[in-house]
Every structure is written in C-alpha cells, then in structure tokens.
Amino acid sequence: MEMINLTIDHKPVVVRKGTTVLKAASSIGIDIPTLCYMKLDDMNIENKPGGCRVCVVEVKGRKNLAPACCTEATEGMEISTHTIRVVNARRTVVELILSDHPADCLICAKSGNCELQDMAHHLGIRQIHYEGEKSMYREDTSPAIIRDINKCIMCRRCETMCNDVQTVGVLSAINRGFNAVVAPAFEMNLDHSVCTYCGQCVAVCPTGALTEVDQTGAVIRALSDPMKTVIVQTAPAVRAALGEEFGMPAGTLVTGKMVAALRRLGFDYVFDTDFAADLTILEEGTELLNRLSAYIAGDQNVKLPILTSCCPAWVKFFEHSFPELKDIPSTARSPQQMFGSIAKTYFADKIKVKRENLVVVSIMPCLAKKYESSRPEFAVNGNPDVDYALTTRELAHLINLGNIEFKSLPNEEFDAPLGESTGAGVIFGTTGGVIEAAVRTAYELFTGKPLPRVDFEELRGMDGLRKATIDFNGTPINIGIAHGLGNARKLLEDIQAGNSEFHAIEIMSCPGGCIGGGGQPYHHGNAEILKKRQKAIYSEDKNKTLRKSHENPYIKKLYEEFLGAPMSEKAHHLLHTKYFDRS
Amino acid sequence: MPGIKLSEKTIGIIQQVCSDFRNEGSELINVLHQTQGKLGYLPAEVQEVIAKELNISVAKVYGVVTFYSFFTMIPMGEHPISICMGTACYVRGSEQVLAEFKRQLSIEVGQSTPDNKFSLNCLRCVGACGLAPVVMVGDRVYGRVSPQMVKNIISEYKEGCVSEAKSA
C-alpha cells in the first residue's frame, strides 16, 4: 500500500494513497467544515459531489482553493484549512447559498436541526451581501413527505439515498444552472411517483427542503375533544431513540419514560405496537409454517420464499417494481395496522366506545407509516384503523410542547391488554429482528419442542445482506435478511430468476431496520448511533421474562375471546391484506 | 403527465436504438441523441421506454434531457432553426437576428409554427465562432447572418428546397 506524506496546518500526516484531504485532516483531528458531504461508514455510503464548496482549503502552489472532500492527498502537499482567504471564501459560499434561501428559519420545521443554519452560525454570518433571483417552486405535499425545494441547497444527499442506496430512483437533479433542482421525473408530485416514502431522503436532508407531514396539530385536536377516546401505540424502535431528542446518549432505552410522557400528554390508554408485533408473528409464522409444510409434503405450487410484510415502504417498493412477485410476501398486515384493526374492533367493544369516537395514534420511527395508515384498504367506511402516525421526532415535539421534563419522568408501564409484549415483539425494531422473532415461534410450533436457545446471533448484525440456516430439528431452513431497498432488490432479482435458496426472507427498507427509520432523531451522518440503538433493542429483549410471541398471555386471550385461531376467517379479515400492481 | 400512446412501431424504433448501444445505461446520451434524431423529440413516454430498456430510473433520463438544451420534449418543426447565443455570436448581433426570426415566423423561442414547418431555438456555440453570428437550419450552417438575410433563409425552405437542405 503506497503511503502519502503531507502536512495539514503545519502538522505532518501520513495517509494511504487515494485518501482525500478531508479524511487526512480528520485523521489528525482537524475539522474542516462540510455541508453537502455525507459519509455513513458502515453502510459504505459516501456523498461527495463537491457542490457546496464549503470545505475549500488552500493548497500551497495552487492558484485556486480546492474542495477537501474530493481532492486527493498527494505527496508533499501543504494544506492550510483555516487561513483568512479560506474563511472568507467559506463565508462567501454560504452567503451565496443564503441569498437564494427563504429566510424563514423562525418557522421552519428544521429550525434547530438544520445544517445550513448551523453553518451560518459557525461562520458568524450576520449580513448577506448578495441580492439576486430567488427560486420560486411550488411545495409538493404527499401523504408522508413535504418537498419545499426553495430550501434545497443541491447537496444531492437525497439523490444518493434514493438512487444508490434504495435504488428507487425517484429523485434526480433536473434542469441546469440556477434552475437546477432535485425532483421526480417530469417534475411530477411525489404521490404520483414510485416513491416508497421510506424517508431516507428526509433523514439526510441538511435543510428544511425535505420534511415529514406534521400531524401533531391533528393529534392535539383529538386529545382536546371530550367526545374522543384517544389511544396510542408505540413502535419498538422509538424507545431506543427518543431519548436522543432530550440530550440523552444514543442507545438509552426510555420505554418507561415514554409511557409516562404519553400519559401526561392526555392519551387515555398507552399501548404498545410490540403487542401487535407478537400478533404478527402468530399470523405470519403460521403462514410460513403452512407454506413450509406444504412444500415439504411435495406441493409444487407453494410460494417460497415467504417475505415479511411489516415494512410499508418495502410493500410499496415491490408493488411498483416487482408486481409479479406480489403473491410471495406474507399477507399479514404490519403491526401498526394489526393494532389499529384490533383496537377499533376488539378493544372498542371492550370499552364500549364507538369506532368513530376512538382515535388511534401511532408513534413510529417511520414516514411510510403515515402513508400506510392512509391506504384505503385499512379503513372501514372511511374511518381509518390508524388515524394518525407520528414520527419519533413529532412525539419529542409534543413532549416539549406539553412542558414535560422528559429526563426526570418516572418509568411507567403500558396499559393492558394491548400493551403487553414479549422480547420477540421488541426486536422488530432492528434488522433481523422480525425473522428472529418468527423463528422463535415457528421452531416451537413446527417441532413441538422448546427452543434450545432463544438468541439467534447468526441472524443479527449490520451487514446489508445476511443469510443463515436454522436447523428445525433436522429440517434446514434457509433464511435471508436484507435492509436497505438496494439490498432487497438483489434478493428479489434472484427470486425472479429462480435462483433463490431461501425459505424465508426479512426485508426492511431502511438501513439498520426501523432504528434507522426516516422518522427517527436525525443522526447527521453518524452511523454509530444506529448500532447503539440496535444494542438497546436487544437489551430490552434480553430483560423481558417472556421472549416468544406465542407465550404472550394477552395474545392467547385475544385468540380465545375474539379471533379463534391464527389464519382463521376472522383473522384473515382483520389481520391480513392484499397487494396491488402499481407498475 | 399528458398521455400520448406510443405506437408499436415507435417503441420498436426506441428499442432498436437502445440495443444498438447494448442497452447500457452509460450510453444514455447517445441513445437520447439517436432517438431524437429519429423521432424529432423526446416526450415523457419515449423517456419511459428508454429508462426501461437501459434499466435506469426515468428521473435520471429526465435529468439528462433537461440538462442539455439540445434535447427537446416538444416536437420540433420540419426545419428546426437554431440561433447561436454564444459569446462571439452574441456580441456580433445574434440577438437582432433572433428577433427577426421571431418576427418573421411569429413564434417565440421553443415554439413551432402552426404548420409545423419551422421551430425556433437558441443554442450555445457550434464551434464556428469565425462565422459569427451563426444560424443553423437542420444540419446546415449559415454564417455571418444579418437580420436582412433572415427572410431569404426562411424562403429557401418555404419554397421547398428541402433536398438542398438535406444534402448540406
């Protein structure tokens, strides 16, 4: 490996050939400010269009300043990162960006979390010396994502996520010069495009150009309506990230405080999506076993592998891109929708509240859940099973609005009966978790024997594509796991070509699974945060007394009192769905 | 999107162009160039077929089409007229030449005449700055064009000297 010697701010540094000046500087603790640049280490994602020019540095002997993010270090280079010339250039660059940016920081959804705002602050910009044309694009609102392109700084991070990582290909830079914007083909609205609403574009947008549809106002109205009973469900990944919004370290589990906060906000019942995750396992696991048993019995028509169907962005992805495979995914609804369906039938009957007076709110790490809850098949006479799906960030906003001092809240317990869950439900929040939960139950139902061990380390991790073979008492079951839609696409292409070796595949749209969802606290490019959230999820699982979905006493009761058995007619009607060809 | 349905024949033409370039996404610009040469323009439906054939996103195709002023999504006239607005042509009076074309044809830049005989566009430098100001009609280049010459250029094509234009 050829090594390169250079100096940065008079400090000598040795790096491998091919290293950028930016990386070389950071290796010796010199921080060069960046704006468009993004690197997510474990996912092998790097966005360096060299577009914003904030990272310019002085290279001795060169006439022009060089962008550190895409200038390769060469032998003998002498770099200065913070000379007056460099700082002035940076200020000019940011002033020019601001000259075509709406100055509405006071009311912007991204205020306080905006990298452009931070940069302007860092550079001490108090005046914009440039006046010129302003972009005047219309706002594009979809069921989950709002595009306000006037706030776009053309960093192209969203394009990288949408094309390179997710391979969805909705967003691209179009037009040129001043008119250049990132938009869907033919500048159509997102809701007419093949957008999956995974929200990874929102997760990386440095400004307020891409944000979620804010439903906190509607939830506040429901909470203040005396006619309404308002209940809430919280997805597993939320508890592993919400604390970050209140300055707690990444990976802090805040389940009990979250429950306490929701109660103080005025929700009548605080329930857990993990309960519905356990329910999902019974339905999906039974479906898997039925297909497997038929396959082992020699049925040639059985559809294998079975694919998980919890992730709404993934569902929309295959409906658009692989409609011919729409019979393969499990027909089980996602936990969010199972919860809504059970809440507005079984639970509404129990507490004697009419469907239209019961409001179901969900707290999700996800933007696609907003879209999912608006799908017409998940409504009865126009009344949706889930009324509002808030993100983790929106919940933090509500908690702040309610003047609740989150960190000093006591730990409280979820309400019964829809708040009880097992460790299997908790791990739905991370990549590999759904299939591990399914294996825990399917193994015992298939073999009739107790699991020798509950933890399946071979299914865990952060690699984008993983596989493992689980021995079902003599029958090897091949399991595939993909997170990130680009990885999912590879598995689907194998299935299409008839080359798939798997019996069951778990797919999550977001890198890391739900812990890295588009509705989570912004990680600002720090992929370590996702690993810490994942660890928190597994530790909650470990601390649960019950760790297999079929052992959840309230799930057993739900089947006894209401549903009958998994895959029964009633279960089919309330807990399963069908998919559409959207190509 | 304004829907026009492509004929089987048109789809066949596009597919042929794509396969001539081994259906490689990296050949997008060449594919667009050839397709526009054959069809005259690149409406949304054509871009969708190209995206599918080259296995790239339609947003990417649209991005390239809108980046280069050469590509057009609206049908060009039988004789597309392009006036160079590059620096050399501009300082030698191409703006006045353009104004005269607009006046004579009663159309704006980016439009076609109602009989679809002429369309009017601007471009940036054809590499013939020595002849500034430069006008192109189809593949034919006219140099040192003055507003007074515009009427004659148009009439060449009005009178049906198409063969001359094509051979040039």
State the Cα angle at A483 between A173 and A196, rounded to 5°.
Answer: 45
Tens of pLDDT, residue by residue, chain A (583 residues): 899 999 999 999 999 999 999 999 999 999 999 999 998 877 778 899 899 999 999 999 999 999 999 999 999 999 999 999 999 999 999 999 999 999 899 999 999 999 999 999 999 999 999 998 898 899 999 999 999 999 999 999 999 999 999 999 999 999 998 999 999 999 999 999 999 999 999 999 999 999 999 999 999 999 999 999 999 999 999 999 999 999 999 999 999 999 999 999 999 999 999 999 999 999 999 999 999 889 888 888 888 899 999 999 999 999 999 999 999 999 999 999 999 999 999 999 999 999 999 999 999 999 999 999 999 999 999 999 999 999 999 999 999 999 999 999 999 999 999 999 999 999 999 999 999 999 999 999 988 999 988 999 999 999 999 999 999 888 899 999 999 999 999 999 999 999 999 999 999 999 999 999 999 999 988 889 999 999 999 999 999 999 999 999 999 999 999 999 999 999 999 999 999 999 8
CB-neighbour burial class of residue A63 (10 A; exposed 0-12, middle 13-18, buried 19+): exposed
Whether A280 and A258 map to the same domain: the answer is: no
What pLDDT is attached to residue B158? 82
Whether residue B3 is predicted with pLDDT greater than 90 in this model: the reply is no
State residue A297's pLDDT score. Answer: 87
Are A173 and B61 a contacting pair at CB < 8 A? no
Predicted pLDDT at A44: 78
**Which amino acids of A are annotated catalytic?**
284, 287, 310, 330, 369, 372, 377, 514
Does residue A127 form part of some domain? no
Tell me how far apart the alpha carbons of residues B74 and B56 are, in angstroms, rounded to a whole number. Answer: 22
Residues A327 and A436 placed together within one structural domain of the fold = yes
User: pLDDT at position B165, please?
Assistant: 44
Residues A470 and A557 in one domain: yes
Is the separation of the CB atoms in A280 and A236 below 8 Å? no
- Say if residue A180 is in the same domain as residue A242: no
CB atoms under 10 Å from CB of A354, counted, come to 11
Angstrom distance (rounded) from CA A516 to CA A237: 8
* Domain match, A258 and A284 both: no
Gap from B142 CA to chain A (nearest CA, Å): 28
Res B1: pLDDT: 43
Minimal C-alpha gap between B64 and chain A (Å): 7
Q: Do A283 and A576 contact (CB within 8 A), yes or no?
A: yes
Q: Are residues A433 and A568 in the same domain?
A: yes
Task: Decide if B1 and A175 are in contact by the 8 Å CB cutoff.
Answer: no
Establish if A377 belongs to a structural domain: yes
C-alpha span between A367 and A312 (Å, rounded): 9
Cα-based angle A333, A334, A335 (whole degrees, multiple of 5): 120
A536 and A438 co-located in one domain: yes
The answer to whether residue A77 is domain-embedded is: yes
Residue A285 within any structural domain of the chain: yes
Q: Which residue, A431, A389, A326, A377, is CA-closest to A573?
A: A377
Q: Please report how many Cα atoms fall inside a 13 Å half-sphere around the Cα of residue A315, on the Cβ side.
A: 21
* A249 shares its domain with A384: yes
Specify the pLDDT at position A148: 96
What type of residue is B46? V
Number of folded domains that form chain A: 4
Q: Are residues A11 and A101 in the same domain?
A: yes
Q: Inform me whether the pLDDT recorded for B168 exceeds 60.
A: no
Q: Burial of B19 by CB count in 10 Å (0-12 exposed, 13-18 middle, 19+ buried)?
A: exposed
Give CA B127 to chain center in angstroms.
17
Spatial CB neighbours of A67, under 8 Å, sequence gap ≥ 6: A50, A53, A55, A56
> Same domain, yes or no, for A18 and A105?
yes
Half-sphere exposure of A427 (CA within 13 A, CB side): 33
**A15 in the same domain as A91:** yes
Q: What distance in Å separates the CA atoms of residue A192 and residue A189, rounded to the nearest whole number?
A: 5
Of A354, A283, A322, nearest in space to A573 by CA? A283
**Structural domain boundaries, residue A183:** 140-212
- Could you tell me if residue A406 is inside a domain? no
Collapsing DSSP to helix, strand or coil, A309 comes out as coil
CATH number, domain at A173?
Answer: 3.30.70.20
Say whether A171 and B59 touch across the interface (CB within 8 A).
Answer: yes
| CATH code assigned at A261 | 3.40.50.1780
B38: number of Cβ within 10 Å: 11
CATH of the domain at A22: 3.10.20.740
A174 touches chain B (CB under 8 A): yes
User: ipTM for the complex?
Assistant: 0.88
Supply φ then ψ for residue A46, to 5 degrees.
-135, 130
Predicted pLDDT of residue B163: 46
| 3-state SS, residue A45 | strand
Q: β-pairing, B79-84 with B135-137? A: antiparallel
The span from the CA of A197 to the CA of A373, in Å, is 12
- Asked if the C-beta of B44 comes within 8 angstroms of chain A's C-beta atoms, the answer is yes
The helix/strand/coil state of A3 is strand
Read off the pLDDT band of B166 (50, 70, 90).
very low
What is the structure's pLDDT at A41? 77
Which of B107, B129, B128, B104 has the alpha carbon at shortest distance from B116?
B107
High-pLDDT (> 70) share of chain B, %:
92
Sheet of A145-147: strand order equals: A140-141, A145-147, A210-212
Which residue reads 């933890």 in tokens?
A455
Does B160 have pLDDT greater than 90?
A: no
With CA atoms as reference, the chain B residue closest to A168 would be B57
Contact B66 A169 (CB under 8 A): no
DSSP result, B111-160: -B-TTSSEEEEEES--S-GGG-S-EEETTEEE-S--GGGHHHHHHHHHTT
The reply to whether A451 and A506 lie within a common domain is: yes
- Asked whether the beta carbons of residue B59 and residue A183 sit closer than 8 angstroms, the reply is yes
Nearest CB to B44 within list A173, A174, A186:
A186
Residue A559 lies in a domain: yes
CB B157 within 8 A of CB B137: yes
- Residue A167 distance to chain B (closest CA, Å): 9
Q: Establish if A352 belongs to a structural domain.
A: no
Each residue of B65-76: b (16+ CB within 10 Å) or e?
A: bbbeeebbeeeb
**B 56-95 near A (Cβ less than 8 A):** 56-63, 66-67
| CA max distance for chain B | 50
pLDDT of residue A481: 96
Other C-beta atoms within 10 Å of A4: how many? 18
Residue A529: give its domain's CATH number: 3.40.950.10
Are A172 and B56 inside 8 Å of each other by CB?
Answer: no
- For residue A450, being part of any structural domain is answered with yes
Q: Which residues of B touch A174 (CB under 8 A)?
A: 59, 62-63, 66-67
